[in-house]
Every structure is written in C-alpha cells, then in structure tokens.
Structure 1
Amino acid sequence: MVKFLLSFIVSFIVNLLIIKLSSRIDRLVTDHLHDGPQKFHDRPTPRIGGVGVFIAFSLAAFYAQVSENNNYLMLLISSLPVFLFGVLEDVLKKISPKVRLLAAALSALLVYLLLNVYLTRIGIPYLDNIFEIKLIALCFTIFCIAGVANAINIIDGYNGLASVVSMIIFFAIAYVGFKVNDQFVYTVSFIMIGGIAGFFIWNYPFGKIFLGDGGAYFIGFTIAVLSVMLVKNHPQISPWFPFLVVIYPVFETIFSFYRKKVLKGKSPFKPDGLHFHMLIYKRVVPFVFDININEKLMRNSATSPFLWLICSLGAIPAVIFWDNTIVLVIFTIVFCIFYVWLYRGIVRFRVGRIIKMLKR
C-alpha cells in the first residue's frame, strides 16, 4: 500500500507540474492542433504524461529495492530503451514506429539478460517442445513483449482509454500474482496502477495531459514482462491467461495489421482512421447518446467507457479461469469472433441493429 500511494502521489504531482509548465516549454512537450486521422483533441495539450508514470515507478522501485530485492531496479533499467525512445518521439515527433519497435525489442532482450525472463511454454501440445530451444524461446519472447508494448500505444487514442485498459490488465495480473504468492508481480502491478491513476486524474475526462508514446510503450512493456514472469515461474498458470487479459489491445493490433497489410497492401505502420476505437468515436457515440455531439472533448471522453467494457470481456473470464487452458482458449476464440462481428457491423453502419441485439 505504501508503494502504491507513493507512486500515485508522485505521478499526480509530476503530471500537475508538467501541465503548469507546459506553456513555458510548449514546443517540446505539447501536441498542437493539426489535421490527421488520429487527432481528436481541440486544444494544444502536453503529451508527456508517461514521464510522470515513469518517475513514479522509479521512486517506488528504488524504495522497494532497499526494502526487498534488486529485481525492481533491473526491471527499471530494462525499460529504459523503450521508454526513452517513446519520449523522444513525443518531443521530436521524428522517431519512426520501426525504431520504437526495435527499442522495445532491446528492452525485452535486457529483461532477459538482467532478470532471466523468457517464455518457456505457450500451452499448445508439441509446440511447447520447441521452447526447449532457448534461442527460439528468447526470440518469441522478444516478439511478444515488443508486440504488447506496441499494442498499448496503438489503443492510446482517447482520454482515459489506454490508462483504464492498462489498470484493468494490471489488476488482473495482480490478482493472479496474489493467488500464487508472487510478491514481485503483485507489487509491481500496484505500483503501476498507482502511477497510472495519478496520471488518469488529469487525463480524464478533460484531457489536460496525454500519456504519449513514452508512457504507452513503458506501460505495455511492463504488462508484457509481468505476464511472462507469471507463466515462467508458476506452472499452474495457463499461458493463455495473460493472452486473454491483453486480448483487446493485442487483437486490435493483429486485426489492424491484417486490415492494412493483407487487405489493402499498405504499410501497417501508416496511421488511418479505421481503428476500432475510432469507429466507436465516429459512429457509436453519436448514436448511443442520440444527439449530434460536435464538441470534441465531450465526444472524446464518451468513447473510452465502451472500450473499457470490451477490455473487461477478456479480463474477467481470464481472472476467473486463470489455470484452465481449455476454457481460456474458448473465451479467446469467442472474443475474437465477437470483435470481428462488431467491427464489421459498425463499418457497415449497422450500429442500431447491433445495439438492439446486445440489449436483448
């Protein structure tokens, strides 16, 4: 509880200072208004809220290291490449997605070297045998960690969206960590929840500060590392537990890659206006509220709760059936089918019909 409160207070104060000082360092930290498929705010806004989360985690980690062990410091060091390159993008806006992915891969390699964190199984018979070859296990681990870090960044499009989704995921990880008596995973999860909550107060609903790439990549990286640690260190935990917990951001990323690269032949790194959360913003929010919401801030903040619910559809069964692979696989398949059905329905302007079906 002390570490949670420390993280919350530090993040709250640091983000307040960033907001207050943003006018003095406007060029470096502020996201200005300009046209683009992923711009949905109506005023210049500082976009380095992740700095507050990272500083909060750092101080809580140093405190925990003194009283417990140095794993906290090793995790912090491992996260530096992915966080710093994310912040550089927030400030310079010139760091390509490929470079940021490479930074995430470097962080994943560091966490292996410093904490010996890598996947040893994926819960699929015969394929698990391949993971006895350490190089294959390491490469797949790096791919997964970098992928989850990128997935959290992709869904960070509206006030409160990525932050609450991340807190839901960390709560799920903390619960299972508590069930298997993994104090490190449990503690880091609550440190992260505290830091994100301190940011969330300033971000939702009024959008006074944005998480930024640095914050999103750092949070996604930490989620992925804790997930791998749980699976590696506790054989009773199904590898499908963390996958179902993060299914919303991960499947959004996979589906976006398929939609852009396979269907349209375009670069998956090129932004467009057809992400699931953007369709909710454009078509579902105005329909549900039955009014013409022209004011961007109101419409922006009204979008996120729909996605919090979507995330919970994966997290809740994952927490309940965390040790049952078959049930987790079934829920994963059901979620993916539901997601595609929902996406196609919204794209084809069937919002009214979908809502009526869901109300039955």
Structure 2
Amino acid sequence: MLTSLPMAFLLALGIALFITPWVRKAAFQIGAVDRPDPRKVHSKIMPRMGGLAVFIAFGVTVLFTQQLDNRIIGLLIGGCMIILLGILDDTRGLPAKVKLAGQIAAAAAVIPFGIQVDFITNPLNGHLVHLGAWGIPVTVFWIISVTNAINLIDGLDGLAGGTSFIAALTLAAVTWQQAHLLGGLGMDVVSLALILAAATLGFLRHNFYPARIFLGDTGSMFLGYALSVLAVMGVAKAATAISVIIPMVILGIPLLDVFFAILRRYQSHRPIFQPDKEHLHHRIMALGLSHKQTVLAIYAINLVLGISAFLLTVITTSQAVLLLFILAVVIIVAANKIGVIGRATRAGIQSSVSVSQNLQQRSSKM
C-alpha cells in the first residue's frame, strides 16, 4: 500500500462526489438516459451511466494508492471491459445475448491474472475439494451471477448502490477477520473493498432518493463485477468449512432476488431476461411502504445478512450451521409472505408443508 487506508478512502469518496455531476451532464449529452415506462417507478427522463463516476473514483484511487500486482491489474482490466459494455447498453441498448457474451468475456479476462476459484471446502467435513480445470467455469459463473444480480436489483433510487456499499464493507470486515488465512493478499482485498465502498458512498450522495442520476447498467454491472471478483480474491481463498457460503450470505439479497425471478419466469413460461414488477422492492412497496422506506428496509436486511456473514467467521462450525438454517427458514417464510417467490412455488412450499405434516401425523399413529 502506497498511502494510508483512511487517505485512500477519502480520496475515492471525494472523487466520486466531485465527478458525478460531470458524468450526469455527459449522460444527457450522449443520450444515456432512462425513459419512464409502466414497469419503472420514476416519472421523468433520468440520466444513467452514473457508474462511470464510481469506476473512475475506484480506478484512480487504486492506481495512486495501491501497490499494483497481477490480480489488481486483472481487476482493473476486467472492470474497464464491463464499464465499456455498460456504456454501450446505457446509450444504445444491447440485446440480452450480447450483454451476456460481454459479461463472459469480462469474467474470463481475470483468470490469466490469477483470479480463480481453485477449491471449495466441503462444509460437512472441512476437506478441500480442488477444482482443477473446473475452476474456470465456476469462476466465470460466479462473476456473471453476481454481476446480473446487482444489475437486476437496481430498481429504486440508491438500492443497488446502498446494497453494494454494505456488501463491500462486509467483504472488507470478513476478509480482515480471515487475513491470517490469506497472507498479504488479505489486506490488499480489504483495501480494495473499502475503496469500492468509498467510491459507491460518494456516488450515493447523488443517487439516493430522490436521485439526480442512476447507476445504469454501467454502474450496476461494475459493482456486481467488482464485488464478485474481490470475493474470489479474498474470502473464497480461505480454507474454512463455511468459506464457500460467506460470499453468498454477503450478497444474499441480490442473489436471492435473481434466483426467485428465474423461478417466477420459468413457471410462467416467460424468457428469463424478461423484466417484471415482482422483484423484492416491488413487493415491499406493494405492502404500502414508500420509495424511501422500501430502500431503507432492504438496507436493514442487507445489514442483518452482513452481520451474519461476519459472525460465521468467528463462531464454531456447528453454530454456523445452526445460524445458516435459521437464516434459510426466515428467508423462505418472508419471501413466501410478501410474494417474491411466485404463486407456483408458494403452492409447492405449502404442498410440501402439508405432506410433511401428514407424514408426521401418520408416524405418530404408528
């Protein structure tokens, strides 16, 4: 590290605060705007492409404050690729297949720089399962999944940015806790995650409700991309029994939202990439919460998951399993209650519960 971490944090924060209004003007000039439609909650033309400010703040701060190595260079190169893809989508609109191809290329770009999932830990016995060549598709799949998860949750002012800010802080805290397992790379990931959090926080000043600029695909894809790559560089390298679970808990809200969206669309025989108004934020707003209240409620859920992810690193394996079980039950019940899962899946859950109850009644009579 070439300068202190607080200085790096303040630099990224200041750059994002200063440059976002400039990016806003540029978005209007090149036609990177978001027009209202029945699926969206805003009622006027809004500039997007705001993620360019986050990327510039992150990239400049990393270049001036960090000791560059292959992994950091790979992250920046891949980040440039995903930013260019996002700008094209924000200005011209790209078919889903073209976006996916670009995401695959950006995800694969980091692998030659040593950023890859080499192993996963079997949570049942703690033994390492080395992936070998399978590590490449696993890495690409993970990066694409998180990239699209953050992209899909970007439906309300400040939602994707705030979710990513909390995730980046959590990732920094978890990696710091496990730094003794990661060597020098651990503190590098802590620094990068905090710089990403600072850049996102600076942008949120202009993006929180009522927003003056949107992240756009430029920003939501970059944030998802950066978080997924940092998770591979850090937490995924820790050889602990629950290391494979921790990144999923940190990014639980966006990952579950995209999982339930795929279920809904599959059940209704719609294309997986076809938008709808049944995402988590839509369903919470349908309960009567305002735009701002909905965003703050999801922030609170993200904080709970972030704290849970940190706890997973300091408690015993048996306690971790119990915590994960409790989280899973709460998530399924809550998702079923507010309607994010979809009618068919909810009916399946209720049917499974009924079958389980019938079996218990029969066994008690035997």
- Structure 1-normalised TM-score? 0.83
The CA deviation at 1:31 is 1.6
The CA deviation at 1:271 is 0.6
Q: 1:95-134 CA deviation, whole Å, 9 max, x = no partner? A: 12332222222222111111332241053459977x5342
Identity of aligned residues (%): 27
Aligned match of 1:295: none
The CA deviation at 1:157 is 0.5
In structure 2, what residue type is equivalent to 1:50? G
2: CA distance, partners of 1:185 / 1:345: 34
2: CA distance, partners of 1:208 / 1:119: 42
1: CA distance, partners of 2:291 / 2:195: 28
Alignment of 1:122-137 (within 5 A): 122-125=121-124, 132-137=130-135
1:255 counterpart = 2:266: no
Aligned match of 1:102: 101
The alpha-carbon distance between structure 1 residues 225 and 346, as it changes in their structure 2 partners (threshold 3 A), is closer
In structure 1, what residue type is equivalent to 2:193? S
Report SS of the residue matched to 1:168.
Answer: helix
1:36 counterpart = 2:38: yes
Q: 1:198-251 CA deviation, whole Å, 9 max, x = no partner? A: 110001122100001111111101111111222443213621111111111101
1:333 counterpart = 2:344: no
Alignment of 1:34-183 (within 5 A): 35-37=37-39, 39-65=40-66, 67=67, 69-93=69-93, 95-125=94-124, 132-181=130-179, 182-183=186-187
Moved over 4 A (4+): 20-23, 124-129, 345-348
2: CA distance, partners of 1:119 / 1:104: 21
1:11 counterpart = 2:16: yes
1: CA distance, partners of 2:218 / 2:326: 32
Query: Gapped runs of 5+ residues in structure 2?
Result: 1-5, 180-185, 344-366
Computing the radius of gyration from Cα coordinates, the structure with the larger value is 2
Q: 1:133-186 CA deviation, whole Å, 9 max, x = no partner? A: 422222122111100110000000001111111111111110122223311110
Contact kept in structure 2, 1:117 and 1:232, CA below 8 Å: no
From 204, 207, 223, give the equivalent of 2:227. 223
The CA deviation at 1:76 is 0.4
In structure 1, what residue type is equivalent to 2:23? I
From 297, 303, 306, give the equivalent of 1:312. 303
Alignment of 1:200-239 (within 5 A): 200-236=204-240, 238-239=243-244
The alpha-carbon distance between structure 1 residues 86 and 221, as it changes in their structure 2 partners (threshold 3 A), is same
2: CA distance, partners of 1:309 / 1:31: 28
1: CA distance, partners of 2:154 / 2:323: 26
Contact kept in structure 2, 1:241 and 1:328, CA below 8 Å: no
The alpha-carbon distance between structure 1 residues 79 and 19, as it changes in their structure 2 partners (threshold 3 A), is closer
The alpha-carbon distance between structure 1 residues 79 and 115, as it changes in their structure 2 partners (threshold 3 A), is farther
Query: Gapped runs of 5+ residues in structure 1?
Result: 286-298, 349-360
RMSD: 2.4
